[in-house]
Structure 1
Amino acid sequence: MASHEKKSDVKLLAEKIKDIRIAMMTTQEADGTLRSRPMATQDVEFDGDLWFFTSSDAPKVSEVSQHHQVNISYSKPDDNLFVSVSGVAGLVRDHDTIKHYWRPFYKAWFPQGLDDPTLALLKVHVESAEYWDVPSGKMTLLYRLTKKAAGAWEDIGEDVKLDMR
């Protein structure tokens, strides 16, 4: 992929997820079971990496250390927008980076704030993404999904794959 295409895809993905604060992160447990949990995406300009606060002793951290591949799912149902992001996750414990992303309202989850010895970030380097953008109303979407499930093919909206590598 040409560099200008990658920049265009990064910009497009940034536009799609910019107003969606909570995502579902899926990791793989040691036995292969997939596990998803809600995570708050940091409110920063997307440049190809996503950032999430975590506790370094959380189960997802050990899962990511064994299986670096993760999936992040975003949805904006009122706008019929659904985004699936695949990438490689890693733990970041650098205090300057943590301080950079820290906001006071995170104290609800991390009462010790920046003094919490387990406070860390999960950095997800996005490798690919796919989004479905259905511009019509909810009833039209329901009708189209029902017809598709019944075997009558009908386009239910735009399905776009982005390669971020």
Structure 2
Amino acid sequence: MTDNADQKKLVDLLDDMPIAMLTTYGAEGARSVPMARQEVEPSAEMWFISARDTLHTRAIEQNPSVSLTFSARDAWVAVSGTAAVVDDDAKLKELWNTFAEAWLPGGPEDPNAVLVRVDIEHGEYWDTPGGKVASLISFAKTKLTGDTYDADHGEVDV
């Protein structure tokens, strides 16, 4: 990634954002679904547990370009990259959790359970440090002065 400080900030923000909207671009067009992020590697790799028989896994196999958006109360992250459907039993067992079990009750041994790995190519974040109060103050400042909203913004490229 281009800037180590921006890369660290993006990864740190993602620690508090476990759910993403995954957008795929398959034969049916763009489609977004919520996905629970299992892991973010500092090397710009994300892991998700999915069902093999879904529209989004089929779309990834047709076109591996994806976008992911994350949101928290006072921060937002958008990343794009290349996804792959991965059959790796050891990694699937390592990442397995009760949340995944709600969607795939057969456990990691379920033949429909599969991993989706996203290799991030570009990321962007917006952060309003200080939470809700700081956001309200910044918003009031923009209304009074006409300046733009104060948010910490950065971009990273792999």
TM-score over 0.5 for the pair: yes
Report the AA paired with residue 102 of structure 2. A
Q: Compute the TM-score of the two structures, normalised by the length of structure 2.
A: 0.83
For the Cα contact (< 8 Å) 2:75–2:125, is it kept in 1?
A: yes
Report the AA paired with residue 10 of structure 2. L
2:120 is aligned with 1:126: yes
2:131 is aligned with 1:137: no
How far apart are the structure 1 equivalents of 2:93 and 2:47? 13
2:13 is aligned with 1:13: no
- Give SS of 1:137's match: helix
Gaps of 5+ in 1: none
Q: CA 1:159 to 1:42, structure 2 compared with 1: closer, same or farther past 3 Å?
A: same
Output aligned runs, 1:16-165, within 5 Å: 16-31=13-28, 33-43=29-39, 46-77=42-73, 80-135=74-129, 136-138=134-136, 140-141=138-139, 144=142, 154-163=148-157, 165=158
| Deviation string, structure 1 residues 12-64 (Cα, Å, up to 9, x no partner) | 22101101111111111314x21111100004654311111011111101111
Q: Compute the TM-score of the two structures, normalised by the length of structure 1.
A: 0.80
Q: CA 1:155 to 1:6, structure 2 compared with 1: closer, same or farther past 3 Å?
A: closer
- Give SS of 1:28's match: strand
For the Cα contact (< 8 Å) 1:10–1:47, is it kept in 2?
A: no
Q: CA RMSD in A?
A: 2.4
Report the AA paired with residue 135 of structure 2. G
What percentage of residue pairs aligned between the two structures are identical?
Answer: 33
Q: CA 1:120 to 1:143, structure 2 compared with 1: closer, same or farther past 3 Å?
A: farther
- Whichever structure has more strand as a proportion of its residues is 2
Q: CA 1:141 to 1:122, structure 2 compared with 1: closer, same or farther past 3 Å?
A: farther
How far apart are the structure 1 equivalents of 2:62 and 2:17? 28
For the Cα contact (< 8 Å) 1:134–1:141, is it kept in 2?
A: no
| Deviation string, structure 1 residues 105-136 (Cα, Å, up to 9, x no partner) | 42111111022111100000011100111343
